[in-house]
Structure 1
Amino acid sequence: MSLSLRSLLVLGALPFATLLACPARSPSSGGTQPEPVRIPSGCESSQAGEYHHVGNPAFRYVAEDDGRTLSLTVVSARLDGGVGGSPDAGGINLVLSRTPQGFVGETRATGFNVSGNPCPVKFPTEVTACADDSLKLRTVTSTALDEACRPPPSGAPPKWTEQVLRRGAPDAGVPDAGMP
């Protein structure tokens, strides 16, 4: 074999040797990448802290945020606008998660059926905006309940309402506007 033919064989084998020297790719887990989390701008940072309802400052909230889930608990509000020192165990809680479908979750509360008996209720809720000084929420605010504490099979569609929570204590002298 001549030197030129040997050189051609070596040069021809280089691409195969390069492929053999490349590390093997590890198989991906599940074969697909997880969907990206889609949340409003500004909601990536922690929303932990104290808030009050803009429409009714007597309703104050304590928010805990672990980076994935935001939990807001209504702190006991009195008719005179005062606030109790601890969360009301039978009160209202909002639990929202940062997901590919948005910053979504539910409001958990106690409602009453047509007979006046207490019933646990859950309303769909979502965060629509986060700012340094506020949170904007969109939530269903009411539903009818039958004797078994279930929504009736037919009836009016749920009514969605925007709620705004402002960070910190309300300004002094702001009157109570009723239920949020």
Structure 2
Amino acid sequence: MSRKIAWIAAGGLAATLTACPARTPSLPNTPAPIHVPPGCEKNQTGEYHHAENPAFLYFGEDDGGTLTLGVARAREGLEGPGDAGTTVNIVLQRTPDGFVGETRSTTFTPSGTACPVRFPTEATACDDKGLTLRSVAATSIDENCRPAPTGPNPQWKEQRLVRGAPDAGASDAG
């Protein structure tokens, strides 16, 4: 009988081992590597102005992962905000897919309804002199603040932001 018990014990042990799934050691969640244009990994905090229209000023805050650019339009002789009271912000995040995010703004329908809009935006270059951004420049919306069913396709445009305040003699191009 001792042979019979040995076979039963061996069979029970084999059944137990094959019934339990193998446990793989859990690895810590490692984030995907960040891929941004050269220079964009550096802190981009600071003041900028638009290369083609220095009346547009940008104030950047960078926490190492997200860059937020507040946009203001400076015009001499005007009281109150130079941007007609609308707020424009550019928010970019350093991700595995690039230095990407959106421009957030408010636009108005023909009847005057204020509509929040968001335009895809990405940084394509960062250097000591400034930033180059690529963004959808315009969009069409209907009276309900939804994308219009007809109208032009979104057009992408590059914008160059230059570090520092513009020259005192710079004029407003529009």
Do they fold alike, i.e. is TM over 0.5? yes
Map of 1:93 onto structure 2: 89
Extract unaligned runs of 5+ from structure 1.
1-24
Q: How large is the RMSD of aligned CA atoms in angstroms?
A: 2.6
Q: Deviations over 1:69-94 (max 9, x none)?
A: 0000013422x388979x99731100
Residues 135 and 82 (structure 1), Cα distance of their counterparts in 2 relative to 1, 3 Å cut: farther
Q: 1:64 aligns with which of 45, 51, 61?
A: 61
Map of 1:29 onto structure 2: 28
State TM-score, norm by structure 2.
Answer: 0.78
Map of 2:159 onto structure 1: 163
**Amino acid corresponding to residue 158 of structure 1 in structure 2:** P
State TM-score, norm by structure 1.
Answer: 0.75
Q: Deviations over 1:14-48 (max 9, x none)?
A: xxxxxxxxxxx952135xx4321110000111000
Provide the C-alpha distance between the structure 2 equivalents of 1:73 and 1:61, rounded to a whole number of angstroms: 5
Provide the C-alpha distance between the structure 1 equivalents of 2:166 and 2:133, rounded to a whole number of angstroms: 18
Map of 2:169 onto structure 1: 173
Give aligned-pair identity as a percent.
Answer: 56
Secondary structure of 1:43 counterpart: coil
**What are the residue-to-residue correspondences of 1:26-175 with 2, within 5 Å?**
27-29=26-28, 33-78=30-75, 80=76, 90-175=86-171
Asked whether the equivalents of residues 81 and 176 of structure 1 are also in contact (C-alpha less than 8 Å), the reply is no
**Amino acid corresponding to residue 47 of structure 2 in structure 1:** E
**Amino acid corresponding to residue 50 of structure 1 in structure 2:** E
The number of residue pairs the alignment matches comes to 151
Large movers: runs of 4+ above 6 Å? 81-85
Provide the C-alpha distance between the structure 1 equivalents of 2:79 and 2:161, rounded to a whole number of angstroms: 16
Provide the C-alpha distance between the structure 2 equivalents of 1:55 and 1:82, rounded to a whole number of angstroms: 21
